[in-house]
Structure 1
C-alpha cells in the first residue's frame, strides 16, 4: 500500500527533527570549543561588525555604539593651583580614543597649543607629556607665570567634539620676617627670627639666611637654621642665635628659593643708653626752645628801635 505524499513528508520532517535534537549536545560542545580559541577582542570586533551591518536607525545600534565612543575620565582635577615658576601638569584622561586626536587650547585667546604629541605654539614651555599607550594626555607648562592663569580646554576630535576644561591658578610666594622692624635686643639674650613664606603650595627647596652680606647657613657660629612646612600653602624658616653679642647686630635677610628676599635690622641696647638718648633729646628740645626765645626777643628789639 502506497503511503500518501503528505504523510511521507511529515514522517521525513519528524525523523530530521529527532536526529537534530539527538545531535544538539554535540553541536553545542563543538561550538564552545571553537569560540574558546577566539580572544575577547576578536569576539568584540565580530560583534561590532555585525551590529554596524544592521540598520543604523534601530535603537539597539545606538545603544551599542555609544559605549565605544571617546569619553573623559572625570577623576583628574579641574581646578589646579600652582606657584610661579613651578612646572605644572594639566591632566586629560580619554577612554576609547580610537583613531581620534587630543588637542589642548588656551581659552583666553583660543590659541592651539598641542595636537597629539605635537606642539603648535612658539614657546617651549608648553608641550604634551603623553606616554605612548597611555590614556592620559597631560599638558605640561614649564616655569608658569601669572599671565598663564586661566582656562585650558582639552578637546577630542570626535563627532560631535567633546571638551574637558581645566582652570589654572598661579600664585606668587611671599616672604615676611615676623616681629617689630627694626628689632632691639639686649646683649646676652637670644635672637629668634621667623621668616614665613606664604602662598607657596610647594615649600621652597632652600632658604638662605644672610647676616649683612655674609651667608650664615653653613657657618657654625652663624646660628641654628630650620625649614618646615606650616600648612598647605605656607612654610616657615627660623634663625636662632643664642647669647647674642654686639657683633651679631646688623641686617638679616631671609632669601627663599621661590620668593623675593626680605630683611630686618637688629640693634642692641647698651645699659641706660635709651634713657641717655631720651635725655639728649630733651636737652636738644630745651636748647632749641631757648634759641627760639632769643630770636623772638631780638626781633622785638629791632622792631622797637626802627619804630622810634
Structure 2
C-alpha cells in the first residue's frame, strides 16, 4: 500500500507543467517585455531628437554661409526705425518730444536715461522721476516710444539715451538744444525822424525756432496793434531760428514821439525812443552840453577847494 502511494506521487510530479506556464511566470515575462518596449521607444525617441537637432543645426549653418541667417536674426531682434532725429532744438518753455522708434520689440522694454547725471526717467509707460515735466508717450501703431518734456529749461539741454533691454542692449542717443529767445529793435538808439516821414521799426526775435504766438507793440503805455489808420504791424519767420516783427507808421507827427516797445510772447520786451528833428534833437544836445558844463564846473569847484585848503595850511 505504501509502495503504490509513492509511485503515484512520483508520477504526478513527473507530469507537472513547466515553470513558464504558471500565471506568475507569465506576468513576469510580460513585465520584462513591456520594459524592453518602453526602453526601446525611449532610445529611439532620443535618437530622433538628436537627429532633429543635427538637421536644424545644418540648416542654420547653411543659412549663415549665404548671409540669410543674419537677415533672419535681424528680422526677429529689436532694432531702431529709420526716421530718427539725433538733434532736436526747442525754445525755452515750449513742450518738446524726443522720439525713439523701435521695431520687433517683443517682450523687451524701452527706457529713457538722462546722460549727464545717468538719471532713469522712464521705463515703458512708467515714469521714474519726481519731476512731472517728464513723461513717456507710446504710439503702438508706429512703435514710437517718445519722451515728453514740458516747459523745458536751459538746464534740460544735453544728451538723452533711449535704451532697449535686449541681449545685448541697444541704445539710441538724442541731443536736446534749448534756446532762449531774445528780442532786439534794429537801428540807432534813440531814433530821430523828420515830421511827415515814416517810422519803420524792426524787432528781431533771435533763437526762436517757432514763431511767437503774438508780438504786441506799445507806444508809451498804449498797445497799438489795432491802430491801422496810419500804419501796420507784421510778423514772419526769418531763417530757422529767428522771427521778425515790423511796425510801420506813415506821415509821422510830433505826437508820435516817445517810447516804442516790442513785446513778444516768448521773450523779454525791448524798446526804443523816437524823437523828431524840429528842435527836439537840438534841445536834447543842448541839455547834454549843459550837463557836461555843469559837471566840469563841479569838478573845478572841488579842485579849487583842495588848493585853497593846502595853501592855507602852508601859510600857517
Same fold (TM over 0.5): yes
1:199-221 Cα offsets, whole Å, 9 max, x none, are 11111111000111111112345
2:86 is matched with: 78
Matched position secondary structure for 2:246: strand
- Match of 2:212, SS state, is coil
For residue 166 of structure 1, what is the aligned residue in structure 2? 174
Other-structure match for 1:198: 206
Conserved 8 A contact 2:230-2:251:
no
Cα distance in 1 for partners of 2:150, 2:289 equals 58
- How many residues in Structure 1 have an aligned counterpart in Structure 2? 249
What is the TM-score normalised by the length of structure 1?
Answer: 0.71
Paired residue for 1:267, among 251, 263, 275? Answer: 275
Change in Cα spacing, 1:278 to 1:73, as seen in structure 2 (3 Å) is same
SS in structure 2 opposite 1:210? strand
Aligned equivalent of 2:41:
none
**Cα drift, residue 197 of structure 1:** 0.7
- In the other structure, the counterpart of 2:77 is 69
Give the number of the structure whose alpha-carbon radius of gyration is greater.
2
Q: Within 5 A, what are the aligned runs for 1:21-40?
A: none
What is the CA-CA distance between 1:258 and the residue it aligns to? Answer: 0.9
In the alignment, which residue of structure 2 is the partner of 1:208? 216
1:251–1:263 contact (8 Å) kept in structure 2: yes
Provide runs of 4+ in structure 1 moved above 6 Å. Answer: none
Q: CA deviation at 1:70?
A: 0.4
Q: Is the 8 A contact 1:152 1:166 kept in 2?
A: yes
Secondary structure at the aligned position of 1:160 is classed as coil
Alignment check: 8 A CA contact 1:216 1:223 kept = no
Root mean square deviation, CA, Å? 3.4
Relative to 1, partners in 2 of residues 1:201 and 1:65: Cα closer, same or farther, differing over 3 Å? same
Contact 2:190 2:274 in 1 (8 A): yes
What residue number does 1:183 align with?
A: 191
Deviation digits for residues 61-120 of structure 1 (CA, Å, limit 9, x no counterpart): 863334211011242110111111121111111111111111111111111111111111
Give the Å deviation of 1:130.
Answer: 1.0
Partner residue of 2:238?
230
Quote the offset at 1:222 in angstroms.
7.1
3-state SS in 2 of match to 1:255: strand
Residue 159 of structure 2 corresponds to residue 151 of structure 1: yes
1-side partners of 2:130 and 2:287: how far apart?
68
What's the secondary structure of 2:139's corresponding residue?
coil
Residues 25-63 of structure 1, C-alpha deviations (whole Å, 9 max, x = no match): xxxxxxxxxxxxxxxxxxxxxxxxx99x94499534863
In structure 2, distance between residues paired with 1:280 and 1:145? 43
1:237 to partner: Cα distance: 0.4
Q: CA offsets per residue over residues 240-289 of structure 1, 9 Å max, x none?
A: 1111112211111101111111011111222596289559948x959x88
Report if aligned partners of 1:72, 1:93 keep a CA contact under 8 Å in 2. yes
Matched residue, 1:43? none
Q: Residue 12 of structure 2 corresponds to which residue in structure 1? A: none
Structure 2 unmatched ranges of 5 or more:
1-51
